[in-house]
Structure 1
Amino acid sequence: MPLSSFAVSDSGRRAPSSPWRDGDFRRLWVGQTVSQLGEQTSLVVLPLLAVLTLDAGAGQLGALRAAGQAPILLLSLFVGAWVDRWRTRTVMVLTDAGRALALGAAAVTGLLGWLGLPELLVVAVAVGALSVFFDMAYQASLVRLVERDQLVRGNSALEGSRSAAQIGGPALGGALVSLLSAPIAVASSAVFFALSFLSIRRMGRRESVPERPEGPPRLWRRIQEGLRFVAGDALLRTVCLASAAFQFFFAAAMTVYLLFLPRDLHLSGTAIGFALAATGPGALLGSLLAARLPRRFGYGPVLVSAAALGDGVFLFVPVLHGAPAVTVPALSALNFVFGTFSQLVNVTVMAVRQTVTPDGMQGRVAATINFVGMGMTPLGSLLGGFLAQAWGTHTSLLVTAAGMLLSPALMALSPLARLGPQGAHVANDA
């Protein structure tokens, strides 16, 4: 698609309508909010449970995080092609139920005294696999629910729900691990997924009946179409490469980070949860900024500058030291800045992707970008565990944080950096 044809519809020619007028969109938003709260809680509960309760080492923590992220690499392309031919509501409802059952089973296992690292690995894989289905479906669902001129506002609202989850999820997860039993901490996430199931199940709009799923040869052909479409579009190709660079080094940095906080800074689970929760208010601010800044300053300049600022703050983490009264506020401030600018990037990139992608390709394009980008996270998590063992947490954090800056560098060197408020002035070079 020519770059000159890119124009996010609510860029000023007329006042965009509001997606909130659609009852199904509101139900999707509620379901997404509590689903993200369950996911954010589990992302803190499972690693902290392994480190603080099961005394997992750096390599074991890296393996646990990689196990939960591996389904992104293994399943994204197939799920994207599959979701394009199924009702998204059905997919989201089934995956919410599956995640609730998986975590509920883990809670029961813990009550029986059988919860250990192998069981956590199984739960992480199951929840990670089902999350791939949910994420692909909800992204495709938004395009089917709202008009094109509502996409930025719709994405801002949905990403705002992620922000709300980031406010409460980490703090809740850290407190549950510190104050309550492990089974209750795990069960809390199951409750949120059950609430998401109930909300999304109430969506009443009937989507058009999809075509009957094809056999394996046709499925592979559809996957290849998605890969070719992304590879042939300059904007989407850049999004893929920048996402891969960021996700790889961010996953490595987070593995080291979750070791650095309790073992080097001697923070409790509650303090860690409080510091991580500061990402949420920042992300909420980033969602609000995403509805205004790209249309004023241009999509490209906002993406490059926000990515550089958000990723760059991680360079300050390794120098922190001292009592929790000093380190926790400093960590909270850094996480707030990171949350603000990373969310601004997330919402803006999603609007670009959804706008340049035809409706019938939404699932496959999302899956391709997910596969290339998020698919790097298990490898990054393993690298983080290896580096922490070999070099220690301070050096490893510095190296992985510096690596995250490769993402804005790739954006700055691409046509994406020249994308203005409407994109019409960009050279027709895609």
Structure 2
Amino acid sequence: MRENLPLWRNRTFSKLWFSQIFTQIGTEISLFALPIFAITQLHITPIQMGYLVFSEQMAPILLGIFSGIFIDRHNPLKIMIFSEVFRALILICIFVLFCFSQAGFFTLFISAFLLGSGKLFFDVSYRKLLPGLFKPSEIVQCNAKLASANSLSELLGPVIAGCMIKLFSAADALFFNVIFFLLSSLFLLLLKKIKIEIVKEKRNSRLSSVYTGYQFVFKTPLLRIITFSGAVWNFCYALIYTIFIFYAVNQLNISPIMLSLVFIPGAIGVLVGASLIPVMIKKFGYGNSLLFGVAITGVWGLILSLLQPVEWVVFAIGIAFFFFGLGQTVFNVINVSINQIVIPSHLLGKVIASLRVLFCMTIPLGALASGYLAQVRSPREAIFIATLGLMFSAFILALPQVRQFKLEAPVHPAESDV
């Protein structure tokens, strides 16, 4: 049921917004505390850090398209609630095993995959749910406002994790994180009485369903180019992200509490990016705005590749993460909005899951490459190589099919063939 009210006065949107805040805080705490736990408690090597990120990012590749098929056939809201409870249980298991001195690297390796799986089902379900709750004309505005929830989460999550690690331990931070996933599930439970307009298709064979999602992506030139650019960007992002915390803690000698503060400018960048999106689309169009978003993340990589262990290094990292938050938000919000409007409703789950697989299949490879390069060369060299890749992904988006794109009405060029 769609309420014809401004989004901030729409009770459905408000509940979804608060759920998004809590789940993103939970995700941010996990992303920050799990590597710190592995570094400080298990004393892992750069290559092991690569394996840890590899495990978390394998979930979209192994389960991605099947999650889309499953979500297309079931209530996405119920799947989101289950995903939150599932992630909370995984964190409880990590804490209990740690208390009994049974939390080794293999435990974290499996836990990272399970947490990634829960996030996968939540994210795909959320993108399937949104068009069933709001009008197509509200989708971009809705995603932009939900990005503000992400901004608040990126501001609070690492700071909460850093404070918990400082006062207690990384294991305690992971256990405390359970609260946020449970709070998110409670706000989602408040939406259960709402009639969600979801178009279900007839059941086909699983092989046919898998083919349908990929067929739509590859027959749509715009999605094909954006996906290729995103896959390159994600490979390079994984190169930087995998080794960054290890690099900051072990070589730049930054404490966990100080490291958590560098994410605050990143959150401000997310907020600035979300507020600029409507203006940018109106003035420059969708394609040029996508290009800007990816290109500006290159500044993030360049600054990180030039870091030295000096007193003002935290300030420099903060500036880098501001550009990262700004660029990533502009790209993500516009890309997700295009997907939700362009893709037919009955194919949304499968196509988004297919896109997620194609976008994310390079992340595990980037994680492994990062650990190897940092081990045999140096973290700085690995980050610099990744920065060159970030700029190449922006070059891909400079193609005319993207820059000249105008979103005037939902168009489904491949719908008759799938």
TM-score, with structure 1 as normaliser = 0.90
Work out which of the residue numbers 196, 205, 213 in structure 2 matches 1:207.
Answer: 196
Structure 1 distance, partners of 2:198, 2:46, is 48
Counterpart residue type for residue 255 of structure 2: S
Task: Say whether residues 1:223 and 2:189 are aligned partners.
Answer: no
- Equivalent runs, 1:299-318 vs 2, <5 Å: 299-318=286-305
Contact 1:18-1:153 at 8 Å conserved across structures:
no
- Equivalent runs, 1:317-356 vs 2, <5 Å: 317-323=304-310, 325-356=311-342
Instruction: Give the corresponding residue for 1:3.
Output: none
Counterpart residue type for residue 263 of structure 1: N
Counterpart residue type for residue 373 of structure 2: L
Task: Say whether residues 1:373 and 2:386 are aligned partners.
Answer: no
Counterpart residue type for residue 195 of structure 2: R
Instruction: Give the corresponding residue for 1:11.
Output: none
Q: Which blocks of at least 5 consecutive residues in structure 1 are unaligned?
A: 1-15
Aligned pairs, number: 409
Instruction: Give the corresponding residue for 1:274.
Output: 261
TM-superposed CA distance for 1:200, in Å, is 0.4
Task: Say whether residues 1:259 and 2:246 are aligned partners.
Answer: yes
SS at 2:361 equivalent: helix
Contact 2:79-2:121 at 8 Å conserved across structures:
yes
Q: Which blocks of at least 5 consecutive residues in structure 2 are unaligned?
A: none
Structure 2 distance, partners of 1:412, 1:116, is 46
Contact 2:132-2:198 at 8 Å conserved across structures:
no
Instruction: Give the corresponding residue for 1:110.
Output: 98
Tell which deviates more after alignment, 80-89 or 17-26.
17-26
Task: Say whether residues 1:286 and 2:270 are aligned partners.
Answer: no
TM-superposed CA distance for 1:22, in Å, is 3.2
Instruction: Give the corresponding residue for 2:24.
Output: 36
Counterpart residue type for residue 46 of structure 1: L
Contact 1:17-1:149 at 8 Å conserved across structures:
no
Contact 2:285-2:405 at 8 Å conserved across structures:
yes
SS at 1:292 equivalent: helix
Instruction: Give the corresponding residue for 1:4.
Output: none
Structure 2 distance, partners of 1:200, 1:57, is 39
Task: Say whether residues 1:145 and 2:133 are aligned partners.
Answer: yes
Classify 1:152/1:211 alpha carbon distance in 2 versus 1 (closer, same or farther; 3 Å). closer
TM-superposed CA distance for 1:19, in Å, is 3.1
TM-superposed CA distance for 1:174, in Å, is 2.7
Structure 2 distance, partners of 1:221, 1:279, is 41
Structure 1 distance, partners of 2:202, 2:176, is 36
Structure 1 distance, partners of 2:105, 2:155, is 27
Instruction: Give the corresponding residue for 1:296.
Output: 283
Structure 1 distance, partners of 2:243, 2:184, is 31
Structure 2 distance, partners of 1:364, 1:358, is 10
Structure 2 distance, partners of 1:345, 1:366, is 16
SS at 2:319 equivalent: helix
Structure 1 distance, partners of 2:414, 2:64, is 29
Contact 1:388-1:396 at 8 Å conserved across structures:
yes
Classify 1:86/1:17 alpha carbon distance in 2 versus 1 (closer, same or farther; 3 Å). same
Task: Say whether residues 1:165 and 2:153 are aligned partners.
Answer: yes
Task: Say whether residues 1:78 and 2:66 are aligned partners.
Answer: yes
RMSD: 2.2
Instruction: Give the corresponding residue for 2:167.
Output: 179
Tell which deviates more after alignment, 402-411 or 113-122.
113-122
Structure 2 distance, partners of 1:276, 1:388, is 23
Task: Say whether residues 1:417 and 2:403 are aligned partners.
Answer: yes
Instruction: Give the corresponding residue for 1:8.
Output: none
Contact 1:245-1:404 at 8 Å conserved across structures:
yes
SS at 1:265 equivalent: coil
